[in-house]
Amino acid sequence: MASTSPGYAITIRVDGPPSAQPVAEITAAITAAGASITALDVVESFIDRVTIDVSCDAHDSEHAERITAAISENPLLTVRKVSDRTFLLHLGGKIEVTSKVPLKTRDDLSRAYTPGVARISQAIAADPSDARRLTIKRNTVAVVTDGSAVLGLGNIGPAAALPVMEGKAALFKRFADVDAWPVCLDTQDVDEIVRTVQIIAPVYGGINLEDISAPRCFEVERRLRELLDIPVFHDDQHGTAIVVLAAISNALKFVKKNLADSKIVMSGAGAAGTAVARLLVASGAKHIIGFDKDGLVHETKPGDDVMRTWFVDNCDPGEFRGSLSDAMVGADIFIGVSAPNVLTESDVASMAPGSIVFALANPEPEIDPVIARKYAAVVATGRSDHPNQINNVLAFPGIFRGLLDGRIHKITDKMLVAAANAIADCVSTDQLNANFIVPSVFDPRVVTSVAAAVRASAN
């Protein structure tokens, strides 16, 4: 059975007579339903009735309904209300704008706004570079999406993408003290996206492209990098690639192999897959065999984007023309950024001794990690309920902290590799094991180390 998740947490308010031992009955019902109780409070107590709030984590929405039904089956218990804790957390949004300066007196207003603010505007008009010194530009990032490839939900549009972009902005602030703001565009036309970002760019010190489908994301990023004098970073590509490279580096240390000699099989040659391959190649990988939904990636086709062409040119499978299962025989590393259940148990069993499996499709990976661990020495996923989560939060806060502090205008592969090495180095030799190949996202060293590496690599 799947693990319970705080993403499906609920709070159930239940009434029952004290004589019925409601706490014990509620606990028994929830436990029997396979849920994890996280809190239990008696909120009201009377002679004839006790009101209890019990919070628990479920597997999914259907499981949450079954938990509630299990409590309701007891004729002595009455379910008064069920609250979805994730929806409650999002009520009214997750971010806000707050003033950094006091606005309590007329003097405050005169300096923060008119007439004093006119002097600041005049200074910037005379020297536009002062905008970075005298405005929010020095620490502000636009999180830009068109809603075309949101998480594993697909093309759900800009409004439905907004909660995700809010979350991204909250992570920027929490981990790197970067002020980020969602920019959800009601267009999926490349020209309109590029032009819109170009004309709002004066406010921002950097652009984080998010959840834009391939191959359009490649074109959007390329054109914006040419047009703007601030860094443009597509996190779905480069953030994933950075953390994968960091994790692969440490996994190889653990199994005592090196990247250049490793046979790597990749499932997924889209935005994330191509970016991962680029950093692996930049770090010395020599033998990558890639697959997409159409099978082996080994030749260009009419209409291929520049990134797919790069993949074909740099990840040549040689004479091999077999299936994914064929390629897995003797493979040292599998990296999946594709779709659920594309691997079988026998595929993993056929890999080389000391194999590494990164099944990163989310929420359902390319193979059940429990099965993969029967054969692979190291297994990683994109999920928070398994060890070795490949989480972009390890990368993008520090990347942008370094870019902003270093006043860096362009991003290079050298910077991305340096960031990956910095993340990997946050796991010491004493800490490194099969279930700990990347640091915790809450490790305060990660952001500072990544930011320092980005700044240093720009010189």
Burial class (CB in 10 A: 0-12, 13-18, 19+), 283: middle
Give the DSSP H or E segment for 182: strand 179-184
Residue 168 annotated as catalytic: yes
Q: Which of 137, 168, 257, 263 is catalytic?
A: 168
Cis omega (within 30 of 0) for bond into 22: no
How much helix, strand and coil, in percent to the nearest 5, is found in the chain?
A: 45, 20, 35
Q: Are 282 and 459 in contact (CB under 8 A)?
A: no
* Coil, helix or strand at residue 299: coil
Q: Which of 145, 128, 305, 282 is nearest to 211 (CA)?
A: 145
The tokens of 37 are what? 């109780």
Helix and strand element counts for the chain (H, E): 18, 14
CA distances from 393 to 7, 249, 400, 441 (A): 17, 18, 11, 6
Q: Which of 54, 113, 62 is nearest to 85 (CA)?
A: 54
Angle subtended by helix axes 396-405 and 445-457, to nearest 10: 50
d(CA 453, CA 416): 9
Q: Which of 94, 113, 374, 410 is catalytic?
A: 113
Q: Which of 358, 346, 155 is nearest to 252 (CA)?
A: 358
d(CA 358, CA 390): 9
Q: Mind telling me the catalytic residues?
A: 113, 168
